[in-house]
Amino acid sequence: MQPLRDERFSWQTEEPRGAALDATADGQAAAAQLWSAALAALQGQVTRPIYETYLRETAGVRLSSDTLAVAAPSDFITEWLNRKLRPVVLRTLAELAGRPLDVTFEVAGVRSVAPAGAPEPATPAPHPPAEQVAAPSAAYVPPRLNERYTFETFVEGDNNRLAFAACQAAVEHPGERYNPIFIYGGVGLGKTHLLHAMGHALLARGMRVIYVTSEQFTNDFVTMIREGASDEFRARYRSADLLLIDDIQFIAGKEGTMEEFFHTFNDLHAHGRQIVLTSDQPPKKVTGLQDRLISRFEWGLIADIQPPSAEMRLAILQRKARALGRYVPEEVLAFIADRIRDNVRELEGSLNRVHAYAELLDAPITLELAQKALGELPAAPRRRPPLPEEVLEAVALYYQVRPAQLAGKGREQRVAHARQVAMYLLREDAGLALVEIGRILGKRDHTTVLYGCKKVEEQRLLDAGLRAQLADIRAALARAAS
């Protein structure tokens, strides 16, 4: 191949080669232009998956008399380029520059940007003598996300506000503000909805999104081992701009999977890629999870999602009814909200069932029709409110204090915190009046009780640890009431 000639390319000149390549003032622009031309040539020499995975986001950054420095987004990609593609790159650079040039690959934290005036690396005419390089099993394929799971269709409330706000903030500044985000809560409360919403938002901005369950991640890892496809596996996961993994708790106890995910996490986090994980429990309560993974999961923001309140359940059903485009009386929505209390997915499914039943009968939706449609479904068991003594015992046991200390005058921090939690639960769960709570807790003034309740409520919104404490105590109270 003869060296290309184009007046825009400062590295192509009739002057002595060294003089052109040593021009430091134009070194960066010349490096970018030379590598842009090399990318155009390389597209005809490697398969599309190789180009998309390993070359598309690289950039020429420095050019000396005998070496071109190329920046890539991760250590994994630079290592792969050195091991697998170096001979092809060296040959291509020599053909373009008209003399041998060395190449170095280094990690940069930014995406490549084509230099002004440089040609886009569109697919050129084929290079007959070029050597094809083995490709990964498949090119990047965007995840299949539920089109209904967007931020606009998510119903925000006190039970999920922190998780919702964190996910929105991370979409605005991926990898910068909260990384990783760890969302935990029961089944059907909206964790997957938030992951899909983030995926939709960043896919719309042209970013590379990977969404999998932990089971899929494990299966991919096993396939990698069986087929010896480590390059393809790591290229897929470590090139993501946003990695979303549902139910991460299921990798616990799988040593090989945890080891691979540990390195995947480190690579993505080091290069500012956003990671979002969901689980049914906070990191420290996931049995069998490696300590180093627990530590990394706690680097960013931990947010829980609690079961929705009665008002929240009604709001969810009202929005769902509007989406169905059919009038549903408030008494029907209240009936469904009273039956399904701990699972948003089942809540919406029950309204779908009523809607379908009415469609089949060609009848309006009424309370009687809803009762028939849902008659075969068991109603949510009504739990009695906890008794005051049960609340005091559960709080005292959890914080390792005596029930008498909660009603005493002691101001030790541990006791004072436990006392305020008891005030909060006696009001919110047992339904007692402020005056009655004050009487139970050592004849305290109702303003003191109100202050304690407000303090716990404010801290609960900001402190995942406190939310976990409240959840544990409430679980103990639920077991006592069952």
pLDDT in tens, 420-441: 999 999 988 888 888 999 999 9
pLDDT tens across 449-468, in order?
999 999 998 887 677 778 87
Taking only the tens place, the pLDDT of each residue in 292-305 is 999 999 888 998 88
Residue 187 lies inside a defined structural domain of this protein: yes
Q: What is the CATH number of the domain that holds 328?
A: 1.10.8.60
273 and 235 within one domain: yes
Work out the burial of residue 134: count CB atoms within 10 Å of its CB; fewer than 13 is exposed, 13-18 middle, 19 or more buried: exposed
For residues 207 and 297, membership in a common domain is answered with: yes
Better-scored residue on pLDDT, 303 or 385: 303
Q: Are residue 290 and residue 178 in the same domain, yes or no?
A: yes
Instruction: Please report, to the nearest 10 degrees, the dihedral formed by the alpha carbons of residues 305, 311, 317, 321 taken in order.
Output: -140
Count the neighbouring beta carbons within 10 Å of the beta carbon of residue 471. Answer: 17
pLDDT grade for 375, boundaries at 50, 70 and 90: confident
Task: Look at residue 131 and tell me if it is in a domain.
Answer: no
pLDDT digits (tens, 9 = 90+) for 237-290: 988 999 999 999 999 988 889 999 999 999 999 888 999 999 988 898 888 899
Q: Enter the pTM of the model.
A: 0.56
pLDDT digits (tens, 9 = 90+) for 130-167: 344 444 434 677 888 988 899 988 888 878 888 999 99
The answer to whether 93 and 40 are in contact (CB under 8 A) is no
Per the CB < 8 A criterion, the answer to whether 192 and 278 are in contact is yes
Q: Which of 89-93, 338-342, 366-370 has the lowest mean pLDDT?
A: 338-342
Same domain, 179 and 275: yes
Domain membership of residue 438 (yes or no) is yes
Residues 179 and 290 placed together within one structural domain of the fold = yes
The region, left, alpha or beta by phi > 0 then psi within -120 to 50, assigned to residue 362 is left
- Boundary (domain end) residue, out of 305, 332, 356: 305
Cβ proximity of 297 and 180 under 8 Å: yes
The pLDDT mean for the chain works out to 81
On whether residue 381 sits in a domain, the answer given is no
Tell which of 280, 305, 330 closes a domain.
Answer: 305
Instruction: Please say if the pLDDT value at position 194 is more than 80.
Output: yes
Task: Give percent of the chain with pLDDT exceeding 90.
Answer: 26
For residue 352, give its domain range: 310-373
Based on the domain organization, do 252 and 299 belong to the same domain? yes
The domain that contains 213 carries what CATH number?
3.40.50.300
Q: What is the pLDDT of residue 136?
A: 41
Q: Indicate whether 130 belongs to any domain.
A: no
Structurally, the chain folds into a number of domains equal to 4
> Looking at the structure, do residues 195 and 230 belong to the same domain, yes or no?
yes
The domain boundary, picked from 74, 107, 140, lies at 107
CATH number of the domain enclosing 402: 1.10.1750.10
Q: Which two structure tokens, joined as six digits, stand for 284?
A: 């420290």
Same domain, 169 and 298: yes
